[in-house]
């Protein structure tokens, strides 16, 4: 199956799950607890997370837990040449919607990718080996080519699709947390 079709199927699955609010909330709780109990989370001091669209995994629980544990939370801003820069946020940070509809921090200090210990990589479709299909801009693919730290994704079982051809430039995340 081609990626464009899988992306549409994945988005439909996520939007369907969003309507099953109790089921989605339970899955988010299970996945979050697995992440918080994992070595990746425990050892990380600086964690990169995105603000979700309403049908995506609600990462606000990660923000709250991270700040409670004294971790630095950073969020990406999509820039020129499809590059991501990461910016330190606090509970007081102001956000604005990007052209893609994603909330990005305003006037937040930029942080070098080298200090990020763990990147929670978003996606729409995943294989069990950690390969992913995102929204199609290639921002995370470009970032992951250079990034040397730990990566994971928080995945609903409805996002798993094994019947697609991984391309040479596709890079897997190192760990999936699935429910």
Give, as one character, the DSSP assignment of residue 127: -
Binding residues for substrate: 56
- Rg (C-alpha) for the chain, rounded Å, is 15
Binding residues for ATP: 3-7, 132-140
Extract the runs of DSSP E, i.e. beta strands, from 33-135: 46-48, 72-78, 84-89, 94-97, 103-106, 110-111, 118-120, 125-126, 132-133
Strand (E) or helix (H) holding 25: helix 21-36
> What residues form DSSP beta bridges with 165?
none
Binding residues: 3-7, 56, 132-140
Strands 150-155, 118-120: pairing is parallel
């Amino acid at each position: 199956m081609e990626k464009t079709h899988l992306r549409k199927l994945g988005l439909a699955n996520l939007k369907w799950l969003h309507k099953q609010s109790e089921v989605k909330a339970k899955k988010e709780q299970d996945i979050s607890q697995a992440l918080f109990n994992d070595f990746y989370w425990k050892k990380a001091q600086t964690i990169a997370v995105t603000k979700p669209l309403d049908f995506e995994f609600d990462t606000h629980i990660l923000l709250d837990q991270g700040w409670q544990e004294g971790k630095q939370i950073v969020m990406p801003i999509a820039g020129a040449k499809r590059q991501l820069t990461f910016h330190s946020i606090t509970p007081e940070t102001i956000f604005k919607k990007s052209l893609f509809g994603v909330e990005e921090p305003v006037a937040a200090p930029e942080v070098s990718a080298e200090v990020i210990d763990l990147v929670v990589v978003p996606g729409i479709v995943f294989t069990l080996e950690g390969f992913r299909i995102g929204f199609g801009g290639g921002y995370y693919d470009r970032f992951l080519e250079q990034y040397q730290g730990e990566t994971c994704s928080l995945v609903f079982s409805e996002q798993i699709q094994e019947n697609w051809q991984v391309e040479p430039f596709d890079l897997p995340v190192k760990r999936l947390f699935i429910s």
